[in-house]
Amino acid sequence: MNSPDRHVRLFRNGRNQALRIPREFELEGDEAILRREGDSLIISPVRKGRLLAVLAALEPLDEPFPDVDTDLPPADDVAL
């Protein structure tokens, strides 16, 4: 969902340049990633906990996991 462009003013907050983000452009959460692409700044929200939600929504597997460590020596015999 793209919103139409919006003209905003830049201002100083101490030694930092800042801008007010209009309500229709608000990001969820309290952190974001900022990167520069040419003359543009791209702000992306940091979404936390999404992997756990995806994993919780997955259907259980019907087949057992293979025994992948059958040819490995016991953990006590591994030299570091």
Residue 44 is predicted with a pLDDT of 93
Q: Which residue has the tokens 């229709």?
A: 24
Residue 10 has pLDDT above 70, yes or no: yes
Residues 6+ apart with CB under 8 A from 34: 41, 42, 43
- The pTM score is 0.53
| Beta pairing partners, 22 | none
Residue 80 is predicted with a pLDDT of 64
Q: Per-residue pLDDT tens for 12-64?
A: 999 999 999 999 999 988 899 999 999 999 999 988 878 888 888 999 889 88
Q: Where is pLDDT greater, at 76 or 18?
A: 18
